Chains A and B, each alone.
Chain A
Amino acid sequence: AQSVTQLGSHVSVSEGALVLLRCNYSSSVPPYLFWYVQYPNQGLQLLLKYTTGATLVKGINGFEAEFKKSETSFHLTKPSAHMSDAAEYFCAVSRGDSSYKLIFGSGTRLLVRP
């Protein structure tokens, strides 16, 4: 079975500060890993994904994440937070085979202080 744990339901940073959102996963097979962003009352938008290959993946809006198999982690970072980054972020895992069901974490709400 697969699962995702996001540490911290709320993270608050100052504008211009580093953003770090934590995600740990559990998977019995090589995983595909994703980060999604959700703005209020909207659907989810894909930020970035890891499937195979390079473990540091870059996404939209300046975000990146690194797949660390030894730590079973896929933390999301951005060097400098912007007010427009305030949203809810979801980490997700799927099996890296023909089954594409996504299992989501409980989400982390990012607050950006001026």
Chain B
Amino acid sequence: SQTIHQWPATLVQPVGSPLSLECTVEGTSNPNLYWYRQAAGRGLQLLFYSVGIGQISSEVPQNLSASRPQDRQFILSSKKLLLSDSGFYLCARDRRGGYTFGSGTRLTVV
């Protein structure tokens, strides 16, 4: 199985509050993992990717951070949310020939 679990499915948070989105992966060990954000009316923007425990690469400067404390766990965080952080966040793992995506978390910052 190559299942990816994301939670929560939806989240409404006030501006300035912290954020923690979790992604866990079943299946093979040492997967490459990715966080994407999809803003309203826009495509998918790669935020972070990780090739192993403790290894995080950031694609764009922003108010978010990522961590990989365990092989199959990938966490997206923020200390203080901004309105512009609203969007649909997707976790993915890669396999030769494509990605497998989680079901996503819709974040609304109010």
Contacts and interface: CB of A to CB of B under 8 A. Distances in A.
Contacts of A49: 97-98
Interface of A: 6, 9, 32, 34, 36, 41-46, 49, 51, 90, 100-107
A104 B98 contact: no
B49 A90 contact: no
Contacts of A46: 98-99
B109 to A, nearest CB: 17
B101 A44 contact: yes
A104 B43 contact: yes
A106 B97 contact: no
Interface of chain B: mostly helix, strand, loop or mixed: strand
Contacts of B44: 44, 90, 104, 107
Interface residues of B, number: 24
A2 to B, nearest CB: 12
10 cross-chain pairs, A with B, having the tightest CB-CB distances, nearest first: A43-B101, A106-B43, A100-B94, A104-B44, A44-B101, A46-B98, A43-B103, A107-B43, A104-B43, A43-B104
B106 A41 contact: yes
Nearest to B93: A100
Nearest to A108: B43
Interface in B74-110: 88, 90, 92, 94-99, 101-104, 106
B74 to A, nearest CB: 15
Given A34-B99, A102-B46, 17 more contacts: A6-B43, A9-B41, A34-B98, A42-B103, A43-B90, A43-B104, A44-B90, A44-B99, A46-B99, A49-B98, A51-B96, A100-B94, A100-B99, A102-B92, A102-B99, A103-B46, A104-B43
